[in-house]
Structure 1
Amino acid sequence: MTRDPRTPRSGARPPGGLGPLGRRLFAAFAVVALASVALLTIAALVGTDRGISSARQEARQSVAAQVATAAADAFRTAGDWASADLSTARSVAEAADAVLTVRDTDGKMIFGGSGVEREPGMSSSGPGHGRGAGSGPSTSTPVVVDGSTVGSVRVVFPAGSGSTGRSVAWGWVTAAAAGAVALALVVSWFVTRRLTFPVVRVAATARALAAGDRTARTQIDAPGELGDLARAFDAMADNVAHTEQTRHRLAADVAHELRTPLASLQAGLEELRDGYVDASVVRLVSLHDQALRLSRIVGDLGELAEAESARLSLHLAEVDLAALAGAAVAEREAELRSAGLTVHSAPGPTALLVRADGDRLHQALGNLLSNAARHCRPGDTVTVTTSATPFEALVEVADSGPGIPAEELPHVFDRLWRGTRARAGGGSGIGLAVVKELVTAHGGTVTADSGPDGGTRLTLRLPRVAPHGSRHLPGPGVVPRRPGKYP
């Protein structure tokens, strides 16, 4: 099985068990779950016990009331206890597995135990008490006949009555508690894995990146903040990889750009040193041109480095972009006319206020005009237009030159990049990269467009400031920048 190139080579998959963080989370979840289950189990057991006891007590009261009613009927029929037939009362008590004792109003036992009627003075420990009378819960109820109390009945239930129901209820509660504990532990383990897996994966990917694997990615699609963390980490890894590739490409491009003039200088100087050629004016001028080219490339590289660090040294103030564009045209007009170009200005609003560093923006606009002077043909026209939207200030530098092929447009602002048509015009391929860095440092954008029939339009956009000094709110489609990101 082949490895996904975007999967970390080492530590990509979390171990089968839980890590230290996972174990702590699982222990916390388990403690909470066990405490909750224990509390609910105790409450269920106590509630069940009290419910069963209450139900049994109500059942005993009901049996005692039925026995008292049967005894009252027997007394009413016979007129006295001596001749009363208490078999019905006894049957009711026996149906409840209880022992019946009947006493008159003087406390004398009339009936007890197995139904043998007591003679006066018969001991209560006589016949009828062999079934455990007095050994279990009992209930006494008066016998009332026509509103008068004629005696009382005492129903003694066997010891342990109701324990079977209590045992069944407790068994079910205990089984449910055990099942709840098992389910809580499983859910806790699952939730812990879900929470810690993205963190473990991000850590493993970070270690792989630190070890040099620039293709390592988390590739996690988790919900919520953990998913955001994984996606943000992958985006950061992509940026790191892109930056590293750009740095390598820049080093290669710089070496390539410097190699040709250096080789020419070295060869020419060695010829002069060894006496193969004379130090003629033409030869010295050629060597001087190569030195100037080297100086220009080094200067452009220094300018690019300054542009990349411009966001750290911008001196922001409210400036008029239209006035800056006019000043840049006036400064570069001689260069444009010497290249055989016709310059037109189409000024827009009189006050086009932006918050920017005037010197840096002047430098960016000058680079746009110099780019047009370098790559346009004699007789072409360059038009500089300023305009505004409710939220942006725009400067367009359009020319009628040969244009840029569609496949090269995405690369015009890359460092040291020169198109097929631009190579013939010279240049180091840094000017437009400087423009992009400076405009981006101001929170703006710069774009390039070219038509199929030629002509190029470079558009610079900056956030606009209202004349009274308050910044407009971002309009539709404009993403507001975080406060403090730029000076």
Structure 2
Amino acid sequence: MTRRRTQAFGPLGWRLLGAFIVVALSSVLTLTVAALIGTDRGLAATERASRQQTAARVADAAARGYPAEGGWASADLTAARALADAAGAQLMIRDATGAMVWPGRAPAGAGMGHGGQSATGGAVNAPVLVTGRTVGTVNLIFATAPTTDGRSVAWQWVAAAGTVALLVAFAVGGYVVWRLNAPLVVMIRAARAFTGGDRTARAHLDAVGELGELGDAVDAMADQVVHTEQVRRQHAADIAHELRTPLAALQAGLEELRDGLQPADPARLAGLHDQSLRLGRVVEDLAELSAAESAALSLRPADVELADIVARATDGQETHLRSAGLHVHRDLHPPVNVHADPDRLHQAVTNLLTNATRYCRPGDQVHIRVDAVDQQARIQITDTGPGIGPAELPHVFDRLWRGADHRSVTGAGIGLAVVRELVTAHGGTIHATSRPGHGTTFTIGLPLATAPQQRRL
């Protein structure tokens, strides 16, 4: 068995890939824009802080050049002008009244912005303090907005990182979509081939996780369908065989009577009648199985005492059991109430007892027990017959199964299949245990009846 791989992308794969691309693209673009805006604002804030520090240093230099006598008229502003020129800014100094000190004179308040910054956003202010007293204000006017060099570098790096992230997202998304879509494509092809008549078509997926389990489940389902078809064909052959034998005997007998080869005496007619009865039993068994398979649609449930049903079924089979030389022992423990169809349960117990008469030997024991175990009603029918082999035990409830020695046993092998269908229709379970040479036990489990008021709820 080989495992299949494929790189084919179906419509679902392309839709998944498109969804991955949209999500990745939107995520990368959102993060890129947020990073760029944050970087831009951070650089701008850093530049403003740097200019403010420069203004503070210029103001400090102006304070050092401010004389004790004579005021701003005799101040030495050489150091302050040098610092402003080094920073590439135009220096303006005003005294405490707002009058221009450097360069020249201007009306009070001219060129000043609000909050220590000019209206254009390219100027910063700093007070000039001498002995703790504000004697003026330094105003630095920069020729350009905050430098864009750092911003350009940041934009380049963020754009490069976003591009790489987007490519990685595309690659990872494509791989994930391929891993998701490829097994689905394989299963679709296998299912179509199987539906088209190729009963050997299987997915044989090389996948892990839920997709691998799904592929295995699809293959197991296909195997079960093939097995079911084989079983049905075998059942059809077995049914044809069961019908062919009495039909052939009837046809031969009637031809002999028609051609006058045999007299139409009571013995000959009785033989033909027996063959017709055998044919009728096969047809009746098949009809019974069909009815049992649809029993859930025809149940007439009621609150019944399970021990009474089993007792009546046993009484009805008592004669047949004794004729087969079997010794019956009853161990019934009422009350065991169930909500079930009494006629269907009677039929199930009857079929089990009939099965015992067919397979048990004269002198064997049959023990019938009814009790309640673990909140479940239980019927156990145990015999001391030859038992069932381990290879045959799993097939006891199959249709038309009669075991290895079926030629020595009458019946069409439908009775136990009917029992399983009837029990399952009641929501119960049935299983068989056996030890070859030591007998077989059939156990039926049924839900106990709930109280009337609980059922009405």
Query: What's the TM-score once normalised by structure 1's chain length?
Result: 0.79
Tell me the amino acid that sits aligned with residue 371 of structure 1: N
- Partner secondary structure for residue 212 of structure 1: coil
Match of 1:137 among 117, 122, 137: 122
Identify if the C-alpha distance between structure 1 residues 428 and 141 changes in structure 2 by more than 3 Å, giving closer, same or farther.
closer
Deviates more, 1:430-439 or 1:31-40: 31-40
- Partner secondary structure for residue 397 of structure 1: strand
Structure 2: 5+ residue stretches without partners: 107-119
Instruction: Please say if 1:433 is aligned against 2:417.
Output: yes
Q: Which residue number in structure 1 is paired with residue 447 of structure 2?
A: 463
C-alpha distance in structure 2 between counterparts of 1:371 and 1:176, whole Å: 79
C-alpha distance in structure 1 between counterparts of 2:165 and 2:132, whole Å: 56
Q: Which residue number in structure 2 is paired with residue 364 of structure 1?
A: 348
Q: Which residue number in structure 1 is paired with residue 429 of structure 2?
A: 445
C-alpha distance in structure 1 between counterparts of 2:395 and 2:17, whole Å: 52
| TM-superposition CA deviations, 1:436-457 (whole Å, max 9, x none) | 1111211222222333433232
Match of 2:304 among 319, 325, 334: 319
Deviates more, 1:23-32 or 1:427-436: 23-32
Tell me the amino acid that sits aligned with residue 305 of structure 1: S
Q: Which residue number in structure 2 is paired with residue 16 of structure 1?
A: 8
CA contact 1:102–1:153 (8 Å) conserved in 2: yes
Quote the offset at 1:196 in angstroms. 4.0
Match of 2:38 among 36, 44, 47: 47
- Written as runs of structure 1 = structure 2, the 5 A alignment for 1:203-222 is 203-218=188-203
Tell me the amino acid that sits aligned with residue 363 of structure 1: Q
Quote the offset at 1:168 in angstroms. 1.0
Instruction: Please say if 1:243 is aligned against 2:228.
Output: yes
Tell me the amino acid that sits aligned with residue 433 of structure 1: A
Instruction: Please say if 1:414 is aligned against 2:401.
Output: no
Match of 1:174 among 156, 159, 163: 159
C-alpha distance in structure 2 between counterparts of 1:269 and 1:201, whole Å: 60
CA contact 2:67–2:74 (8 Å) conserved in 1: no
- Partner secondary structure for residue 377 of structure 1: coil
C-alpha distance in structure 1 between counterparts of 2:139 and 2:361, whole Å: 126
Tell me the amino acid that sits aligned with residue 246 of structure 1: V
Q: Which residue number in structure 1 is paired with residue 49 of structure 2?
A: 58
- Partner secondary structure for residue 100 of structure 2: coil
Identify if the C-alpha distance between structure 1 residues 205 and 98 changes in structure 2 by more than 3 Å, giving closer, same or farther.
same
Quote the offset at 1:366 in angstroms. 0.9
Deviates more, 1:192-201 or 1:48-57: 192-201
C-alpha distance in structure 1 between counterparts of 2:67 and 2:309, whole Å: 124
Tell me the amino acid that sits aligned with residue 30 of structure 1: I
Q: Which residue number in structure 2 is paired with residue 483 of structure 1?
A: none
Deviates more, 1:39-48 or 1:281-290: 281-290
- Written as runs of structure 1 = structure 2, the 5 A alignment for 1:24-423 is 24-76=15-67, 84-100=75-91, 106-109=99-102, 137-146=122-131, 152-159=137-144, 161-197=146-182, 199-218=184-203, 223=209, 233-234=218-219, 236-279=221-264, 281-348=266-333, 350-423=334-407
Query: What's the TM-score once normalised by structure 2's chain length?
Result: 0.83
Quote the offset at 1:464 in angstroms. 1.8
| TM-superposition CA deviations, 1:347-381 (whole Å, max 9, x none) | 12x21111211111111111111112222223333
| TM-superposition CA deviations, 1:393-422 (whole Å, max 9, x none) | 122222233333333222222211112344
Quote the offset at 1:270 in angstroms. 3.8
Structure 1: 5+ residue stretches without partners: 111-117, 122-134, 472-487
Identify if the C-alpha distance between structure 1 residues 469 and 370 changes in structure 2 by more than 3 Å, giving closer, same or farther.
farther
- Partner secondary structure for residue 76 of structure 1: coil
| TM-superposition CA deviations, 1:83-133 (whole Å, max 9, x none) | 6544432443344344445566742545xxxxxxx8x99xxxxxxxxxxxx
CA contact 2:385–2:437 (8 Å) conserved in 1: no
CA contact 2:382–2:440 (8 Å) conserved in 1: yes
CA contact 2:247–2:275 (8 Å) conserved in 1: yes
4+ long deviations beyond 6 Å? none
- Partner secondary structure for residue 404 of structure 1: coil
Deviates more, 1:289-298 or 1:53-62: 289-298
CA contact 1:319–1:358 (8 Å) conserved in 2: yes
Tell me the amino acid that sits aligned with residue 333 of structure 1: E
Deviates more, 1:265-274 or 1:446-455: 265-274
C-alpha distance in structure 2 between counterparts of 1:186 and 1:335, whole Å: 77
Identify if the C-alpha distance between structure 1 residues 390 and 466 changes in structure 2 by more than 3 Å, giving closer, same or farther.
farther
